[in-house]
C-alpha cells in the first residue's frame, strides 16, 4: 500500500517556484541576505507576508518597517529565511484545504515547535547548520501533512484501527503500510530537495550508521522528542515520547544539555505560538 501513496506523489502539486528557490539556498554556501532579498522582492505576495510579520507585535519594533531590505537588516538573514520558508510551505499546504482543518493546524504547530527545538539543539551541539536544522524540523512530518491533505480516508481508517486494536501510532502505520517518514522522504526526492533534508525527513525515527548526514535526522529526532514532550501542537502520534540514547551520544548531548534545550524551548513557547498564528493567517 505504501507504494501506492508514493506513486501518488507524482500527481501532487509541484513545489512553488519561490519555495524551491528558498530551499535551494541551503545547498549554496555562497548564499547571502542579498539573495534572499532578491527572491522576496520578486514575489509580491511573499513581500507582503514578510512586512506583515516584521511589523507584528512578535518583534515589537518601534518604527514601522516599510521595505524588504530594512526587514532583512532588522531581523537578520536566518530569521527572514525561516519566515519565508514557513509562510511558503504552510501557504502551499494550508490547513484550510484539509478535511480536518483543526488537526492540520495542530500538526503545523507541532512542526513549528520541532523546527525551533532543532535550531536550539543545533546551536548547542554544533551538530549541523542551524538553518538546515530548522528547515528539517519544519518539514519532518511532511509525510503526515501530505497524507492528511490527499488521503484523509486512509488516515481516518488508521485512527479507527488504533482505537479498535489499541495500537500505537507507529504500529498502526506499519499495519497500514503508510510510514509517514518514508512517504515524506519520497516527496522530498520527487521535489529534488537537498540530501540533508531528505535524510532529516526520512530517517528521524529510524536512524542508521549508513546515513551521509546522520547529524541532521539525529537533531530532528531529539527535537521531535522535545516537541512532543512539550505538548505544543499535536503530531497525531499517541506513542510515549522516546529518545534513543545512541542519538544523544552521537550529538554529544548529555542529560544536562538536553535539559538546557528543554528549558530554552519552554521560554520560547509563546513566541512559537505567535509565529504559528501569524503564518496561518498569511
Angle among Cα 280, 25, 137 to the nearest 5 degrees reads 50
Q: What is the mean pLDDT of residues 249-269?
A: 96
Question: In angstroms, what CA-CA distances link 94 with 88, 109, 273?
Answer: 10, 12, 17
Burial of 96 (0-12, 13-18, 19+ CB in 10 A): exposed
> The domain that contains 189 carries what CATH number?
1.10.3210.10
Radius of gyration of the chain (CA): 18
**Reported confidence tier of residue 233, pLDDT bands at 50, 70, 90:** very high
User: Using an 8 Å Cβ cutoff, are 235 and 107 in contact?
Assistant: yes
- Judged by phi (left if over 0) then psi (alpha if -120 to 50, else beta), residue 129 lies in beta
Share of the chain residues as helix, strand and coil, in percent rounded to the nearest 5: 70, 0, 30
User: Using an 8 Å Cβ cutoff, are 214 and 250 in contact?
Assistant: yes
**Reported confidence tier of residue 280, pLDDT bands at 50, 70, 90:** confident
Alpha-carbon 2 to chain mean position? 22
Angle among Cα 14, 71, 219 to the nearest 5 degrees reads 55
Q: What pLDDT, on a 0 to 100 scale, did the predictor assign at position 7? A: 67
Three cell numbers written together for 197:
533534508
Q: What pLDDT, on a 0 to 100 scale, did the predictor assign at position 14? A: 73
Number of domains in the chain: 1
Q: What is the pLDDT of residues 35-82, one digit of tens each?
A: 999 999 999 888 998 998 888 877 888 899 999 999 999 998 888 888
The range of the structural domain enclosing residue 19 comes to 2-281
Q: What is the mean pLDDT of residues 10-28?
A: 79
Residue located via cell numbers 530532528 = 220
| Residue 232: other Cβ atoms inside 10 A | 23
Q: What pLDDT, on a 0 to 100 scale, did the predictor assign at position 13? A: 67
Q: What is the pLDDT of residues 161-218, one digit of tens each?
A: 999 999 999 999 988 888 999 999 988 888 888 899 999 999 999 999 899 999 999 9
Amino acid at each position: 500500500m505504501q507504494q501506492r501513496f508514493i506513486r501518488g506523489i507524482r500527481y501532487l502539486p509541484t513545489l512553488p517556484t519561490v519555495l524551491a528557490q528558498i530551499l535551494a539556498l541551503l545547498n549554496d554556501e555562497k548564499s547571502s541576505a542579498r539573495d534572499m532579498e532578491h527572491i522576496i522582492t520578486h514575489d509580491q505576495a511573499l513581500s507582503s507576508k514578510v512586512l506583515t510579520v516584521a511589523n507584528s507585535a512578535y518583534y515589537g519594533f518601534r518604527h514601522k518597517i516599510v521595505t524588504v531590505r530594512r526587514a532583512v537588516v532588522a531581523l537578520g538573514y536566518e530569521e527572514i529565511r525561516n519566515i519565508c520558508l514557513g509562510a511558503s510551505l504552510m501557504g502551499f499546504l494550508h490547513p484550510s484545504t484539509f478535511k480536518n482543518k483543526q488537526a492540520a493546524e495542530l500538526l503545523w504547530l507541532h512542526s513549528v515547535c520541532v523546527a525551533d527545538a532543532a535550531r536550539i539543539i543545533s546551536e548547542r551541539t554544533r551538530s549541523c547548520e542551524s538553518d538546515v536544522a530548522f528547515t528539517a524540523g519544519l518539514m519532518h512530518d511532511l509525510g503526515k501533512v501530505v497524507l492528511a491533505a490527499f488521503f484523509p480516508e486512509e488516515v481516518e481508517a488508521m485512527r479507527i484501527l488504533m482505537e479498535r486494536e489499541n495500537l500505537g501510532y507507529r504500529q498502526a502505520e506499519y499495519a497500514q503500510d503508510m510510514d509517514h517518514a518514508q512517504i515524506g522522504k519520497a516527496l522530498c526526492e520527487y521535489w529534488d530537495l537537498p540530501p540533508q533534508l531528505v535524510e532529516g525527513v526520512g530517517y528521524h525515527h529510524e536512524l542508521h550508521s549508513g546515513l551521509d548526514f546522520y547529524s541532521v535526522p539525529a537533531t530532528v529526532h531529539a527535537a521531535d522528542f522535545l516537541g512532543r514532550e512539550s505538548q505544543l501542537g499535536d503530531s497525531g502520534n499517541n506513542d510515549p515520547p522516546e529518545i534513543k540514547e545512541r542519538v544523544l551520544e552521537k550529538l554529544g548531548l548529555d542529560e544536562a544539555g538536553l535539559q538546557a534545550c528543554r528549558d530554552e524551548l519552554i521560554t520560547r513557547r509563546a513566541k512559537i505560538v505567535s509565529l504559528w498564528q501569524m503564518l496561518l493567517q498569511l
